[in-house]
Structure 1
Amino acid sequence: MKTILIVDDEPRTRQGIRKTLEAWFCGRHRIEMASSGVEALAWLQQNEAHLLVTDIRMPEVGGLELVERLSAMTPPPVVIVISGHPEFDYAQKALQLGVVSYLLKPLDKEKLVQAVELALKREEEMSRMVRMEKLFDPKLLGTVQKEKQYSVQVREALRHIDDHLSEQVSMRAVADHLHMNASYFSVLFKEQTGLTFSDYLSRRRVQRAKELLVNTRDSIAEISEQVGYQTAKYFVKVFRSIEGTSPGQYRQNVSNSEKSIQ
């Protein structure tokens, strides 16, 4: 269940948006209201909102200032701005702040619902990205960020490894695929990525395993096979050496964490 916070100093507009969304979503989302930007900020100090629907002109703290203040949150809520005036400067500023939609009053109910559905999809995508970033091995993240700096051979090696993670991949086989001397390839790979071929392969397999542990219900044995290990026992050993915990415990820890976040 997602939480939608409606912020508007006009009671009629505030209630109208709430009734429209409650009728459309039939209790699937929690809908809260605030009569000002100040009240919204106070509420958000104690609660989490996934979507903020805010008027742009309000006393003390306007909609755009509210959005700017919330930008420090990780991740910040997605935002829909509503306004009684088609002012270009406001719309431009809203877009610069990452606002999903800019709706004009009087609000069209169908356009409001469409904007909210789009915003909730955007929020889900952002949450998934943040979640996957938290799961990502920092050493692998470094290779992703620097990949454009690597030679053509090393970039091709990384792609080849990714495409064949479920198979028996060896340094010599990858070197042969690249038509390179294995010893030279080994030195080149370590020099550019900062990881030995073996360490990179193990970390990449464990990374894929973590994604499968979080996003599927596949068994540990099934996942070990999907990431290229012949036995689940050895997979668990490698996983524990990199993550400091077993695959089963890792899945449980992430599951518990997700429940507390959402």
Structure 2
Amino acid sequence: MKTILIVDDEPRTREGVRKTLEAWSSGSCRIETVSSGVEALEWLQNNEANLLVTDIRMPEIGGLDLIEKLEQLKHPPVVIVISGHPEFDYAQRALKYGVIEYLLKPLDKMKLVQAVELALKREEQIHRIERMEKLVDPKLMETMEHENVYNAQVREAIHYLDEHLHEPVSMRDLADHLHMNASYFSVLFKEQTGLTFSEYLTKQRIQRAKVLLTTTALPIAEIAEKVGYQTARYFVKVFRELEKVSPGQYRNNVRDPEDTIQ
């Protein structure tokens, strides 16, 4: 359930926004209200919101100051600003902070609902991007980004590994496939990618496993087999060494149920 926090020091506006959004959401969203920026910060210390709808002019902490402080949160909400003043400076600062929409009072209910729908879609996109970033090993991403400048044999080796991760591939096997001396291939691969063959293979296998853990309901043992590990026990050991959590814990931490294929 998505949570929307409404912040406005004017009771009439605050309640009007709450009633409009409760009618629109039909119980699918949790709607919370507070009357000041100070109360909003206190609420956000103990709760998470997906969307913040805030007035811009409030005593003590104004809307823009509140938005600026959101950056300190682990999971800051997306923001819609409402204001009775169409000042250009306010709007410009709001856009600088990544505000989704700047709505003027008196609020048009249709525009408010449209802005909320857009903001929640944007929040979901941000959420998905954050989860995808957790799937990607930074060093592996760097290696892939520079692939076009690698020696043709190293590029072929990378493509071969990508297609045969589920098989027991050794460095000698791959060197033989490329008709290369194993020692020379080892040096060339490390020189070009910055990773040893073993490091690269392990990172790719764990990368593939992370995708399967977060997008399927396959058992851990089956995932281990699909990424080239002969025993689930050894797979769990390697996964924990790289990710600092077990595959099961990783799945629980990162997976979105909507992304899972049963």
* Same fold? TM cut 0.5: yes
Query: Which stretch shifts more, 146-155 or 23-32?
Result: 146-155
Percent of pairs with identical residues = 64
Partner of 1:190: 190
> How far, CA to CA, are the matches of 1:158 and 1:72 in structure 2?
40
Aligned residues: 251
Once the two structures are overlaid, the 10-residue window that deviates more, 176-185 or 92-101, is 176-185
SS in 2 for 1:75: coil
Query: Could you say which residue in structure 1 is the equivalent of 2:260?
Result: none
Q: Taking structure 1 as reference, are residues 258 and 182 closer, same or farther at Cα in structure 2, changes over 3 Å only? A: closer
Where 2:72 maps in the other structure, the secondary structure is coil
| 2:138 alignment partner AA | L
- Distance, in Å, in 2 between the alignment partners of 1:180 and 1:43 is 63
> 1: CA distance between counterparts of 2:185 and 2:128?
36
For the aligned residue pairs, the C-alpha RMSD in angstroms reads: 3.3
Distance 1:186 1:49 in 2: 50
Q: Is the 8 A contact 1:202 1:238 kept in 2?
A: no
| Alpha-carbon distance, 1:53 to partner | 0.7
What per-residue deviation string (whole Å, max 9, x for no partner) do you get for residues 122-172 of structure 1?
223333443444555xxx312324654563335675465445544565546
Which blocks of at least 5 consecutive residues in structure 2 are unaligned?
257-262
Question: Which residue of 2 is the match for residue 36 of structure 1?
Answer: 36
| Aligned match for 1:240, one of 231, 237, 240 | 237
SS across alignment from 2:54: strand
Match of 1:83 in 2: 83
Check conservation: 2:6, 2:33, Cα contact below 8 A: yes
Secondary structure of the structure 2 residue equivalent to 1:52? strand
| Unpaired stretches in structure 1, ≥5 consecutive residues | none
> How far apart are the structure 2 equivalents of 1:98 and 1:179?
54
- Opposite residue 62 of structure 1, the aligned amino acid is G
Distance 1:57 1:116 in 2: 20
Q: Counterparts in 2 of 1:198-213, with a 5 A limit? A: 198-213=198-213
Report if the CA contact (8 A) 2:205-2:228 is conserved: yes
Counterpart in the other structure of 2:247: 250
Which amino acid in the other structure matches residue 108 of structure 1? D
SS of aligned partner of 2:33: strand
Aligned-pair CA distance for 1:237: 0.8
TM-score, length-scaled by structure 2:
0.79
